[in-house]
Every structure is written in structure tokens, then in C-alpha cells.
A and B are shown apart, each in its own frame.
Chain A
């Protein structure tokens, strides 16, 4: 009797066979891109990787596939039929939204419905593409390094290293769209030889990155600056230096280089470090923002100022930049600096907060910035002299 029971139990368990496929039967989608389609609402593009090869050599076949569709799952099924290997989204790590799509806010409908039903990695990074997403994905393919993941990781880590672009996750984007307290700021990407998009402050002359754009490289895709949103609509672009200013206020900045122009016209490169969390106080229609930074500049002997003058010089310029960026964001209606996070503290119910017209109050907010700057390793401060 016991034997029969055990056999029945084993049969019962084996009936519950969860669908499995072998590793090599999948084509792994690494990047997902969405932009407006011509014949259908959306043009969905996948960057797909199919590892293969043999024992002696590993080969990876990368392909960029596109399909127009009404929903995400429709696009996935269309491409499943057209490509060998069933698409697996378990390794997807980047979601790119076309600029034309996000300017209208049309991505919300696409992301709400069938997107959440896929076996997607829950911590996708999100970016906005200036150019065609197909070109953007093709620009990531290079013969130099077969590991696409490493390239993408390097690009996404640019934010932490340089502070010039935003490393935004899907969860942060969702929070910005669903919640009213902060607006999204996403990585802005494009391919080489792209024309400079007009920065929100109209500052087109300033470089996007610390130096010049890459114009001749096997890696044609680059990121620089960020796209700022008001809810689910993109309202503008900030260049790298202005993005750094916003990151300082949202406490996403760790270190980065800024270029200042000395009175004699020479450029001065200063590395800035975050010392402490910024303090933001909101009361009525005023906001006080205090930042704690440390500056480290190369070749101090070339700077014709003493330490205190120099500190004041750098501090004033940072504060001015912060104020300018804040005004531009207020005018655009984007609370990318997240003042709404502190405004909500005054409310004692979600309904009251949701009924409150925060954006109107935000536009009228008077913000003052104070930067506390320290200098690192200033030889002029040495006690020996």
C-alpha cells in the first residue's frame, strides 16, 4: 500500500513539470527599445544575443531585431516566429525609449500593459534615445570585446564615475511616474556625430562630456547628459554639467569633474566629491538647499589665487549654476531635483497630497542654494610653511 502511495505521489509530482528549455534554445534579449512606429503604434527593437561555438572557442552572435506592434507581447511573438531560438527576457538589462515617444508621454500605455507580464529582470536601466534605436543598438556592437554586458555596464557606470549622466532604474522611473514627488531624469543616449540637442538652459556651447564627443570610434553609441521629465512626458535635455548639478541635489552625485573658466580665460578642471548628504528644508514657498562638497584641483601652482579666494570662486559658480538649472527646471515643470519629496511631509493623508497641486506650488518656489566647499590636499594649507 505504501509503495503504491509513493508511486502515485511520484507520478503526481512529475505531472507538475514546469516548462523548461535548454540554455542554447534561447535567444537572450539584452536591450529593449520602443519608439513610435509608422504603421502601428510602436516600433519595438530588441538587441538579441545568442552564445554558441564549441569547446575550443566561444562565439556570440548579436542581432538587432525590430517589429512594429500594438503591445510588447505582440512584438515579442512576432519576432519569436521570425528568429531561431525562443526569446528570453531574463537577461534584459536596458530599456530605451525613443525621444519622440516620451515627448508625447505615449510610453505609459505600452509599459503598463503587457510589459509587466514578461519574465523581465526587475531592475532594468532606462534611457532615452535621441536617434533611431536600431542605430543605437548597432552602435553598441563592436569586435573589440565580445562581452556586451561589460560594455553596457561600463556605459551605465559612467554616471557614478563622472556624474555627467543619470543611471536610472526602471523602478525609479516608475516611482517618478506613479508618484508626484519627483520627476524622472533618464540617461540620454545617441550615436556618434549627433548634433547637440538644445540644452534646457539653452547652453549649447558647453560640451556634453568632460571633453569632446567621440567621433571616430568602434563604439558608436555614447551617453551624455540626461532627459528630464514632467510626469511621463519628456520636457527637455540637460547637458552633462547641468545633470551633475541636479545629481548633487538628489544625492546621486559621488564624484565628477567640472571645468571652470579662470578670469584670464584659461580652463580649470576641478574634481568635486560629495562629503555629506545634502540638506533640504522646505517651508511655505521657500526652499533652502545646502550641499557639502570637496574640491580637488590639479596643478594648484598655476592658479593665481589663494585657497580662500579659490574656494569662493568655485563655490559661487556652482551655486550660480544650481540656481540657473533649478529655474530652468521650474520653467519646464520638471521637479527633477525632487522638492516634492519634502513637500509631502507636511501632509497627513495620501488623498490630501494627491489633491494638492504641487506643480503649481513648485513653479512658484523660491530656492536658495548654499554650497559648503572644502579643499583636498591644498599644499598652500600645509603647516610646514
Chain B
């Protein structure tokens, strides 16, 4: 205690707080120069499995930084009491019970007399190991990749191949309910982080032999497992080919999620509109696959990416088809009205109030003027401020967990709004417009599309405040043109309106279930009748 008080008043002691030291060469960069980052060393894993077990052990120890990574397990054992072998796995990724029960115990009891060393891997795989999945592999990179996934690599002294046994037993979240795609009538299962589980969820819906789940990996040094799920014979082969090509071109070392994969493989990265649908729901992904599209699953991400998509796909909710046709149509109409209101209402109001007051009726004009009589902010600033505050409240509600998150929405909506009006920061009319706008925004089912519309709305408000209806017209026309030029993996975004397709995926009209005949034609499927 005395030392602490004394230290408080001493100024001759060196500063003890940790600082990240500059490791770059000492030179002052110019104001405009951007320093290029250091090139990351490429960790190339090449070569094949060595016959010598000690060499393999040493190599693995070095590669996995065994001195520091205490979860690397190098378990030596004797097959049949005679042949040296090494089981390599990562603690926590591999299931120890499976290793014990299906690898070690049978290996001890195995009779390897008369079996040549080079045939031992085959013998082990076919006669000894009793797990569901086991394969032989000579490629060192594959062996390393398998270990990182949670499998166990069994290396045998004198053999050039390793046996890769599926002993994955890491802890993962069980199948739960979707958090962002709530439904009343539809199923309530959601994807999880486990790729295998997600594939299972799809297979439970698509019980057909032509449903293909192609496993592959993508990325730079940090290869992430993904699954390309499609209906063979229905999906367009050139779409599949193009997707594979784009996935091959990914060189990023970041951990992969569906969102990141989307950004790495899409064409128009600067546009806010998404070009892939991200869904938590297996039934929605399965419906898309049946429609001739592709579902992309990524290890560690509880979402499926569906491609190609159109604007209609983003405006559909998962339970549209579960409702009766008239009700489904009305709901779609309300949704589209909400989306249009949410996009154009604030800008339209700004345009009329600032540039075309003659278009407002006397009653509205008097109400607006009287409500703004003490507000100090100019109208465009007030509108944009409120729109951004709305987004802020929404983001805060999303990031804060549980009941507190819900409370923030209520606090933000009621108290802040009321307080802001009383404090003459905003006016009631603008508050109502922003509230209606927000409600309309939430009617858009897709989160990415919601966010894109939210920020497009702000751009429209700026255009309206500068140029009135002229600004809105010009911005709206430019946006329509850009959307018309947008393609999602070769499919125009505004199909089936422009270009016109034979199979009408209606924005407003929910077609009868009885009239659905196979896959949509705009994805140019190989075979429409699914």
C-alpha cells in the first residue's frame, strides 16, 4: 500500500505499460505514402509421407509447433505388438474415445505376421480400424489438413501412406431455431456451425439420389471446408463450373464464412445489393436447390449461401409458400408496399417540403410547419439524423444480447423519440415518417437487402434535399439502371421482369402451389422438371 502511494508520486520510474514496438525499418513515411504491408511468408506444405516414422514425427512436431501447441497429440503404439505406428490428432478436435475404441484397441490385437510393411496401411484400413470412414493418403498436405479438421492420422513405420480415420468429436452447438428468420407456419430448424450436421439437415429434406453434396476446400493457407449442394441433372453445369472456378481463385487466409465467401466470389463488390442469399433455414436452402440453384455451406458458419438470386428471391420470406394463396399474395403486397414506402417516403417528403410545397395540401403544410416551429435543425439534417439514429438503435439492439437488446429497442423507440420531440431536436411529423420507414424496412425479409435499402434511402434523402423531385428521379433512374445491369452469377438481378422469363417468380402475386412445375427457367437449368 505504501509502495503504491509512493509510486503514484514518483516520476522517475520507467513507464511500465506494454507498447507494441515498431518492427518496420526506421524511416519517416511521407504524408501521402501508403506503406505496403510485409508479405506474409508462404507456408507451403509439400511432399509425401516418408517411410521413416521418426522423420514423419519430427516433421509433424515442427509443423504443428509441438513445443508450444500442447494440444498436439503424438501417440506412439505398436500394431500387433510388433510394428511401430504413430497416431496424430489434436486434443479437443478428435474424440479420444473413438481413438481408443476403434484405433488403438483393435491395433493392439491385430495379427500382422506375414504382412509386408508397404501393405500395412491397406491392412489397417480394411481389417483393423472399425470406424465408419477411413482412407489412405500419401500427400503430406492432405494429412495435415485432416489433422486440423479433427481426424486422426495413423502413420506406420516403413509405409508411404497414412491412414486418415474420421474421429471428429469436437463440441458444437445443437440444431436450434433460426434467430433472424422467424416463421409461424414453417419449420423451426436452423443450420449450425458443423458442416456435417448441415448436410444432414439438407439430406433429410432432399431424399433423392441426384442430390449432390460436393465437399471441397477453399482459401489460401487456411483452407476451409465447404460443401456445394445441388441437384445433378437440374443445375446448369456452366454455373457449377463457374462457381468452382471462382472458389479456386480464393487466396484469402481469413477464416471463411458465407458472407466472406460471397464477397470473394461475387462480381460487383462495390454495390450494396447482395448477390447471394444467406439463409439460416434448411428448408429454404432445399427449396432453392430444387429450383435449380446451388446452396453453399461453409464449415463454421450457420448459414447457407444460395446462388444465383434475383430481387424476387430477396423479397420472399421462407413461409410465403406455407400460407394460402390469397393470404400469401396480400402479405407480399404489404411487404412490397412497405419496402417501397421505406425507400421513397422520407425522400419524397423532403422533396415536397423543401422544393415543391405547392404539392402538399394545406392541412399537411400547416401541421408540418407548426410541428417544426421550434426545431433548430434544418429539415434534411433532421431527417437524415433520425434515419441514422434509427439504424443506431437497431444495431445496438442486435449487438446487445437477450432481454437488454429488446429493451434498447423500446427505450430507443419510445423514450428517445418522445424526449427528442420535447427537446425540439426533431419534429413529430418527421418522427412518424421515420417510424413508418423503419417498419417498412423490417418488412424486407433479407437482412443484407434491408441494410442496403437503409443506406440507399439516406442517399435518396440527400438527393432530394439538393434537387427535390429532380434529384429523386435522377437517382431512382440511375439505381434502376444499375440494378438492371447487375448479375448474380450470370443471372440478371431483375429477372423475370427484365429480362422476361417464362417462369414468373412474382413479386406481388403468389402463384398456386398446384401450378409449380419444376425448376425456374431463368437459371437455365439442365432439366426443368425436377
- Tell me the A residues contacting B by CB distance below 8 Å: 13-14, 16-18, 20-24, 26, 28, 51-55, 57-60, 88, 90-91, 119, 121, 147-149
Contacts and interface: CB of A to CB of B under 8 A. Distances in A.
A26 B357 contact: yes
A91 B361 CA distance: 9
B343 to A, nearest CB: 19
Given A90-B356, A91-B358, A51 B370 contact: yes
A23 B380 CA distance: 12
Interface in B434-483: 463, 465-468, 470-471
B428 to A, nearest CB: 6
Contacts of A52: 369-370, 373
A17 B373 contact: no
B354 interface: yes
Given A17-B466, A90-B358, A149-B362, A23 B368 contact: yes
A95 to B, nearest CB: 15
6 contacts: A13-B463, A22-B378, A23-B372, A55-B427, A88-B358, A90-B356
B373 A23 contact: no
B135 interface: no
B363 interface: yes
A18 B355 contact: yes
Given A17-B466, A18-B466, A23-B372, A51 B355 contact: no
B468 A24 contact: no
Interface residues of B, number: 30
B318 to A, nearest CB: 36
B79 interface: no
Interface string B366-400: 11111111100011000000000000000000000
Interface centre among A17, A23, A52 (most CB of B within 10 A): A23
Nearest to B424: A55
A90 B466 contact: no
Contacts of B355: 18, 20
A86 B468 CA distance: 19
Interface in B399-429: 421, 427-428
A51 B467 contact: no
Contact of A54 (B354, B368, B374, B468): B374
Nearest to A92: B358
B371 A121 contact: no
Contact of B373 (A13, A53, A91): A53
Interface string B326-358: 000000000000000000000000000111111
B365 interface: yes
A88 to B, nearest CB: 7
Contacts of B378: 22
Contacts of B356: 90
A169 B345 CA distance: 32
Interface in B243-285: none
Nearest to B466: A17
Given A55-B428, A58-B366, A88 B466 contact: no
Given A51-B365, A59-B370, A90-B356, 4 more contacts: A22-B353, A23-B353, A24-B373, A51-B370
Given A51-B365, A91-B357, A147-B362, A20 B370 contact: no
